Amino acid sequence: MTTPDVITPSQLIAKHSEDLSSVLPSHVHAPVWIRVAQGAVRRDPKLMKAATETPASLMVALLNAARLGLEPGTEEFYLTPRKVKGKMEVLGITGYQGIVEMMYRAGAVSSVVAECVYDSDGFDYQPGRDELPMHRIDWDSNDRGELRLVYAYARLRSGATSKVIVLNRAEINKIKASSMGSDGDYSPWRTNEAAMWLKSAVRQLRKWVPTSAEFRDQLRVDAQGIARVQAEVAAGRPRAVVLNTETGEIEDSDLDAIDAEIVDPADPWLTGERTDDPEADQ
């Protein structure tokens, strides 16, 4: 009796390359993305083991990465092995660089700043008084101490500055506690803690900055949505807005945007006055 050949994770990815390619955004070169995914699995024995034991979990993670247009197995999108009921599985986790990439891709952001603050750093920021944080680092120090704070903000193409996000260790610990797989041996919360602090900050920042190219396209054609945003700004009540990708409608978020900034509806990229590639100026 012959034993059926076991398909490797790399072969599985190749077999379903068309399915993965079909959900990739148009700007992503599918063959390169597929090779990146195969290389990520091949170079990590623990990830290879998890993908072999539970191939379905690998495909779910890769489909999520493809849908977001992020490179799997990088700091854009982690492929993390974890043990569930005695069996290894693959968990896909969007990294902070992936969130930042989606912000840039939307075209409304000219730069994103995200930094960790350590015990020996100087840090001063008071909302309403300061536009931006003052972060002082002793670059000659051999040890900056423990992680203390993390902050993030964005410069918008309109010239405005987004809401400044500042999180302390207690807030980070709450986020970590609610994060799936954060206590796993291979979780980036253990292997790359600073990166996860940065992700927590930029994830909060994402609420105030568009992260979808469709947002820009929708603002161009949805005059009613633009008028609503302009009215909010004129009334001194800037709000966060989101695009419902299922309905195609711009909706107010349920966030309290007391001192937030939003994309200026008069931004030439949003109004259609400029149609060139917004990435070209970077």
Q: What is the pLDDT of residues 69-85, one digit of tens each?
A: 999 999 999 999 988 88
Is the pLDDT at 214 greater than 90? The verdict is: no
The predicted model scores a pTM of: 0.68
Question: Other CB atoms closer than 10 Å to residue 10's CB: what's the count?
Answer: 18
pLDDT of the residue at 227 = 54
Rounded to 10 deg, the angle between the 55-68 and 45-53 helix axes is 110
What's the mean per-residue pLDDT of the chain? 79
| pLDDT band, residue 217 (cuts 50/70/90) | low
CA distances from 125 to 148, 196, 204 (A): 14, 22, 17
CA neighbor of 144 nearest in space, from 176, 179, 118? 118
Is the pLDDT at 152 greater than 80? The verdict is: yes
pLDDT of the residue at 188 = 85
CA distances from 255 to 121, 169, 207 (A): 31, 22, 8
Alpha-carbon span 64 to 84, nearest angstrom: 20
Q: Are 24 and 66 in contact (CB under 8 A)?
A: yes
Residue type, 71: E
Q: Which tokens in the block code for residue 72? A: 């799997």
Alpha-carbon span 23 to 195, nearest angstrom: 27
Q: Which tokens in the block code for residue 2? A: 């012959």
Q: What is the mean pLDDT of residues 135-141?
A: 94
